[in-house]
Amino acid sequence: MTNNSDPTDQRQPAEPIVDPSVVDALFEQLDVQVVHDLIENCFAEFDQQMENFRQAGARGDWTGCLTALHGLRGIAVDYGAAALSNEITKTKQVLLDRQYDVLAEQIRTLGTAQRDARTALMLRLAKCAASQQNRGQSG
């Protein structure tokens, strides 16, 4: 029998993609469609900020890149997307440290984190909507 709880294993547990309590809190106050629209608007704004980031980078406007990253991080935090927020912070640090050789890879990682956060939020939305519907049918 293998012991999987090795006390010398220093790895941290995987960070959750999103904090489900954020969507749950929205559901306590708002209708399913309103929450869906909020999340869609969140990612539309995120996409716009990513475009601002790309355009600033193409111009070599590093201050503009940092400004766009700040906006991106605010959106991620507002919707409980912790893993995405951390990737944004890493991207910001890459820029601040002028590690331009790894910037392209970090941006790809950021894009993956954004897709993962969107999927996780939409799955949580679907779960909350189903739960709300089941409560409505049993009441």
Does 2 fall in a domain?
A: no
Does 9 fall in a domain?
A: no
pLDDT tens digit string along 5-60? 444 334 344 567 888 888 888 888 888 888 889 888 988 999 999 999 989 988 98
Using alpha carbons only, give the angle 55, 116, 125 rounded to the nearest 5 degrees: 115
Q: DSSP assignment, residue 17? A: S
Separation between Cα atoms, residue 46 and residue 95, nearest integer Å = 19
Does 85 fall in a domain?
A: yes
For residue 135, what pLDDT is reported?
66
Separation between Cα atoms, residue 67 and residue 61, nearest integer Å = 10
Q: What are phi and psi of 17, to 5 degrees?
A: -65, -45
Does 6 fall in a domain?
A: no
Element (H, E) at 7: none
Query: What three-state secondary structure class fits 41?
Result: helix
Does 95 fall in a domain?
A: yes
Checking if the pLDDT of 138 tops 70, the result is: no
For residue 14, what pLDDT is reported?
57
pLDDT tens digit string along 65-116? 999 999 999 999 988 898 999 999 999 999 999 998 888 899 899 989 999 9
Rg of the chain, C-alpha, whole Å: 18
Q: What's the domain count of the chain?
A: 1
Query: What three-state secondary structure class fits 66?
Result: helix
Separation between Cα atoms, residue 47 and residue 69, nearest integer Å = 12
Does 105 fall in a domain?
A: yes
Does 13 fall in a domain?
A: no
Give the range of the structural domain holding residue 79, as residue numbers without chain letter: 20-130
Does 5 fall in a domain?
A: no
Q: What pTM was estimated for this model as a whole? A: 0.77
